[in-house]
Structure 1
Amino acid sequence: MVSIITRHPFPTGNAEEGIAVLQENAHDLLEGLEADPSSLGDALSTTLTLAEAHCLMDPRAAIYPTRDAWVTAMQVGSAVFATALAPKGNVRCRIAHKDLTLQATGPQWYVHPGAWLTAFYLAVACREKDRITALCQVPLSLLRENGAQFEEHDYAWIDTLQTYWLGGQDLVPKLVSAVDGTDPDTVSDPETVSKLVYPPMEMFHRFIRKDHEGFTRALTQALELHKQYWSEEDRAVNIGGLVALAPLAIVCLAHDAGMPIEVESEYLPAVLIGRNWCGEFPT
């Protein structure tokens, strides 16, 4: 039996106008990437926000503009790391239906664990296997170079996901290290870690164990905690809460492995999970 977790209330009165503004901002940033590839960080946050905003009125991602926005965000996420890894010269990147020539950037302020996880989750949701593989070859050392304030569990979680995708060794110990790092007594923001960071790890744990019932429980809890977090008054109108991005990515992995998904929610765009749109247009 499929259970349904509703999304927290979100105002829709100015949705079309808001999406139009985000679309214009995203367009301007993407148009300027060849001249200034260092704006990729802003482009990633803006295109992700646009993709999530589309899901306010189209929570299933059932219409083309929504899916197109998700693909564009995914392409920008991949470009962030393709240009950061390139030793010098130019990098060809497909973004928003155009083949762009971007300059290699090396390490930048936006090349950090948060951006990597966003790029990975987007690539998984869009089923871009080559891009996922490229992201999983990004060395953790690159993510540490800009001195951004991230905690060790972030690096351990990235190490876990890279090891899983590439079929490396010590997957379980790495996952245990990531989970141990989320101890509320040791992190700087216990609420965010307990409600947003740890739940996808538990989902992944149940997924790799092929524990269907445990996965369903973990997914349910992840969405309920996501809802709690984003229902707080100071966060309730933040577009970032409209989609549970990390749980979505783990659900996509589980779906493709043949695990039944017995939870439905507006936080999880159903058409992205079902992947029936893949191949709709060149990516």
Structure 2
Amino acid sequence: MVTVTRHRSPSVGKEVVERLADELADSVRNLDTSSAIFGIALNEALLQVQMHQALNPRGNRHPTWVATVSAMQVGSAAFAAATAPGLVEKLTATIDMSHPDIATIAPRDLLQCILYPPIHLFYLFVRKDHEGFNRALAEALELHKAYWSREDRSDDIAGYLALGPLAMACLAYDAGFPIEVESEYLPIRLLDRSWLGEFPT
């Protein structure tokens, strides 16, 4: 088992937790007023998940799961609203054009450390390469840690959860891959689905 430690421990006040929950609730109530609200609500929902995971890295507390389910529901609604013909072609183009040596859409360190690793993990998942997937997962977490360890980013709440690698690890776990990497960046209770069925989704 490979272990990747987190870059630091967060401090988030109760008032921040409550404010984020109120903002998300307002956005969800207004989803039918504009398509732009979907993006705002999704960003707020993801920020809420990141905040809860920062405070609860094992992902075993009720508020963490409520935030996670809310984000899944908002994400599903946004995806359903945005889905259009050509999705497979778009995914293929994304994989082809996302390598840090080719892509120019974002700063190189963001591409290399955050955006590209989940795409590479998806490629290994599709190839059913269990060993390669675990090596790449450990590398993705180390790259995530390096990116968020920089002094100007180290306090950012987004750095406490490796969302892309977590999504790919959950996909692989559900497909029967042995996950041989552990980290507070990958909350174990989200990965092993221990709360599955406890919430309507």
**What TM-score does the superposition give when structure 1 sets the normalisation length?**
0.64
Residue identity in the other structure for 2:101:
P
Structure with the larger helix share: 2
**1:54 aligns to what?**
52
Please tell me whether Structure 1 or Structure 2 has the larger radius of gyration of its CA atoms. 1
Aligned residues: 200
Match of 1:43 among 37, 41, 44: 41
**1:139 aligns to what?**
85
Q: Residue 19 in 1 paired to residue 17 in 2?
A: yes
Counterparts of 2:174 and 2:26 in 1: how far apart (Å)? 35
**2:101 aligns to what?**
184
Deviations 1:71-116 (A, max 9, x none): 11111112223345xxxxxxxxxxxxxxxxxxxxxxxxxxxxxxxx
SS of 1:281's equivalent in the other structure is: coil
SS of 1:61's equivalent in the other structure is: coil
C-alpha displacement of 1:183: 4.0
Contact 1:199 / 1:222 at 8 angstroms: preserved in 2?
Answer: yes
**1:8 aligns to what?**
7
Cα gap change, 1:182/1:43 in structure 2, threshold over 3 Å: closer, same or farther? Answer: same
The structure with higher relative contact order (CA 8 Å, sep 6+) is: 2
**1:123 aligns to what?**
none
**2:68 aligns to what?**
70
**2:124 aligns to what?**
206
Counterparts of 1:139 and 1:182 in 2: how far apart (Å)? 24
Deviations 1:133-153 (A, max 9, x none): xx5xx3348xxxxxxxxxxxx
Q: Residue 251 in 1 paired to residue 197 in 2?
A: no
Counterparts of 1:204 and 1:82 in 2: how far apart (Å)? 21
Cα gap change, 1:282/1:21 in structure 2, threshold over 3 Å: closer, same or farther? Answer: same
C-alpha displacement of 1:184: 2.5
Cα gap change, 1:15/1:180 in structure 2, threshold over 3 Å: closer, same or farther? Answer: same
Counterparts of 1:35 and 1:197 in 2: how far apart (Å)? 31
C-alpha displacement of 1:5: 0.7
Residue identity in the other structure for 1:159:
L
Cα RMSD (Å) of the superposition?
2.3
Structure 2 stretches lacking a partner, 5+ long: none
**2:157 aligns to what?**
239
**1:148 aligns to what?**
none
Residue identity in the other structure for 1:182:
H
Contact 1:62 / 1:271 at 8 angstroms: preserved in 2?
Answer: yes
Counterparts of 1:205 and 1:83 in 2: how far apart (Å)? 26
Contact 2:10 / 2:54 at 8 angstroms: preserved in 1?
Answer: no
Counterparts of 2:185 and 2:194 in 1: how far apart (Å)? 18
Cα gap change, 1:251/1:186 in structure 2, threshold over 3 Å: closer, same or farther? Answer: closer
C-alpha displacement of 1:282: 1.4
C-alpha displacement of 1:192: 1.1
C-alpha displacement of 1:228: 0.7
Contact 1:184 / 1:193 at 8 angstroms: preserved in 2?
Answer: no
Structure 1 stretches lacking a partner, 5+ long: 85-134, 142-154, 161-173
Q: Trace 1:155-194 onto structure 2 (pairs within 5 A).
A: 159-160=91-92, 178-179=95-96, 181-184=98-101, 186-188=103-105, 189-194=107-112
Cα gap change, 1:194/1:179 in structure 2, threshold over 3 Å: closer, same or farther? Answer: farther
SS of 2:31's equivalent in the other structure is: coil
SS of 1:4's equivalent in the other structure is: strand
Counterparts of 2:104 and 2:36 in 1: how far apart (Å)? 31
Residue identity in the other structure for 2:55:
M
**What TM-score does the superposition give when structure 2 sets the normalisation length?**
0.88
C-alpha displacement of 1:193: 1.1
Counterparts of 1:41 and 1:211 in 2: how far apart (Å)? 34
Identity across matched positions, percent:
44
Counterparts of 1:57 and 1:82 in 2: how far apart (Å)? 31
